[in-house]
Structure 1
């Protein structure tokens, strides 16, 4: 199993606008194609104006397959353009994490295939 850990750093006081656009335009597509949202968070202490989301996948190949399907959906470029026009993202980083042998995990092989 792998986990995609993505962090967006936003312009101060713009987290609400980002979350509104994301929830309306991106989240439905990501739920449809990516499958398993582990969590979606905003920073409270430490570096502020950060949004973090975690997605679980059975493998890196499965992540790539699912992302390709999502990016082929005509609604995805519409969201990306709206995000560019919102002009609130300062930085984006993505990590791919793999589980250890002793980590409690969810069996993502059992998730439905998009």
Structure 2
């Protein structure tokens, strides 16, 4: 299993607007290609201007295939344009992670 852990940081005061934009224009396209995320979280303490998505793939090839389909989806492209125009996001940090041998991640539902 390959875990894709993504942290997004928004300009102060824009987190709610960014999540509303994503839900309205990005969620359907992204989940159509990637499936449901393992988690989609907002920060309660610490940097409260951040949110996290965690996605699970069989391996790097599965991730590449799913993401290529998403990147070609006109609905997803439209969301990216709207998000860039809104300017709420300051940065994005992605980490591709593997489970420790003694604590394997649960299998993703097909």
Q: When the two structures are superposed, what TM-score results if normalisation uses the length of structure 1?
A: 0.91
Q: What 5-or-longer segments of structure 1 have no aligned partner? A: none
Cα shift at 1:48: 2.0
- Cα separation, 1, equivalents of 2:3 and 2:36: 10
- 2:22 is aligned to 22
List structure 1 segments (4+ residues) > 6 angstroms apart after TM superposition: none
- 2:47 is aligned to 47
- Cα separation, 2, equivalents of 1:84 and 1:52: 18
Kept in 1, the 8 Å contact 2:4–2:54? The answer is: yes
- 2:13 is aligned to 13
Q: When the two structures are superposed, what TM-score results if normalisation uses the length of structure 2?
A: 0.94
RMSD, aligned α-carbons: 1.1
Map 1:56-67; keep pairs closer than 5 Å.
Answer: 56-67=56-67
- Aligned residues, how many? 110
- Cα separation, 2, equivalents of 1:48 and 1:107: 31
Kept in 1, the 8 Å contact 2:30–2:76? The answer is: no
Output one character per residue of 1:54-92: Cα deviation in whole Å (capped at 9) or x when no partner: 001111110010000111111111000100111111111
Kept in 2, the 8 Å contact 1:36–1:57? The answer is: no
